[in-house]
Structure 1
Amino acid sequence: MKIIRRSVAIVVAAAVAGVAGITGAAADSSQRSGPAQSPARSSSASAEKADRHWRHGKPAIAGAWEKAWNSKDPKRLAALFTGDGRYSDHALGQTFKGRDGVAQWATVTKQFVGNAKVKVNSAFADDGQVAISWTFSGHLAGAPKPFSVPAATILRMRGNKIVTNDDYYNRADVLSQSGLPADTVFN
């Protein structure tokens, strides 16, 4: 569990730092004046390219991922992936491959976690990868109480499709908040 907590802490810290860095870079570039020179033009071209994939301060894929998870249709999440995509939930040690596997994972999650909800808090993209800081909430089947835990996801992209999705959150926190013993097994 310490390794997972540390990984999540590192990813969340990177997400916060990345968002702060992107915000700072945007503020810095908005204060510049005068004609663009070649290094600035190259930087500007990169910013324009990145901007096409952003909506309301976060990568568009993060918003689409959140909406797909909160949808009742598991194929909506699967459609975000490449045909050979992979979804891994590291807290549970589960990996699903291909769009059918992703749809299966979404279906199983919705069956096992009542009122499952994903809330993206922040996200940033760099060099074909997207880091997402989010909150995972719901009510485990048979558990006396609901849960709400911080989570982090790293997406590796191919164009505008997800190739890999790696979720990190603390399973012990989910169980504890749900009123279940920490050694509860999911299989």
Structure 2
Amino acid sequence: MKYIKHGCVILFTLFVTVVSAQTFGVKVGGGNGNLRIEYDKPEDIVKGENINGIEAGLFLQLDLNGLYVRPEALYLNRLGTVNHTDNSPISIHRIQFPVIVGLHLLGPLSIEGGPAYNHILEINHELGNDVRIRRDGLGYRIGPVLHFNRVMLYANYEGQVISLGTGSRLSEPSRLNFGVGLALGKKHF
């Protein structure tokens, strides 16, 4: 697990070194999706629907003749209710490091996607004191994006594929995100 964290930090640092010649900026968005917590026994599954959330962070974008690579560092907060013995509130604070690869299609339209490393910073729930949630996971993001000068409008589908560590497995099997990004500095999209 340490290797994945160090790899993400190293990758992000490499892209920071080229920031003077490439696009960098901020992004903010929101989304809605489902949540699933799996215990050791298959019958012990906790589900939540309509889990709302926000995301905000920084990105760098390296353009490569019709393609681009955009590493991101995002803070995510998810709030909602899960069906435990009764309806229980849940709040998840995490960081995510997606590495997005995009393809410019027509005009401002691009399609993009890529892997995302997730780390839960804090989780607040009323599921019982003995519940330990796995803190790390790997997922993906994929979707369309529109670039207009310095503004980026995005929509993406997000999923978590692998939960790493020990404890109950937390996943968001389907989530839709929408947001806006703003390029800062001299260069724009």
Shorter-chain TM range is 0.3 to 0.5
TM-score with structure 2 setting the length: 0.43
Greater strand fraction, Structure 1 or Structure 2: 2
Greater helix fraction, Structure 1 or Structure 2: 1
